[in-house]
Structure 1
Amino acid sequence: MITEQNFKQLIPDVNWNYASKYVSLFDTILPKYNINTPLRKAHFLAQVAHESGGFKFVTENLNYSAKAL
Structure 2
Amino acid sequence: LSPFEQRAFGGLFSMKSFGNAAIRHGKNIWMVLPFIGYYKWAEYCFWSVEQGHRKKNLPEYEAYYAGLNEEKK
Bigger radius of gyration: 2
Give the helix-richer structure, 1 or 2. 2
Interval containing the TM-score (normalised by the shorter chain): under 0.3
- Higher RCO (CA-CA < 8 Å; seq separation 6+): 1
TM-score normalised per structure 1: 0.25
TM-score normalised per structure 2: 0.24
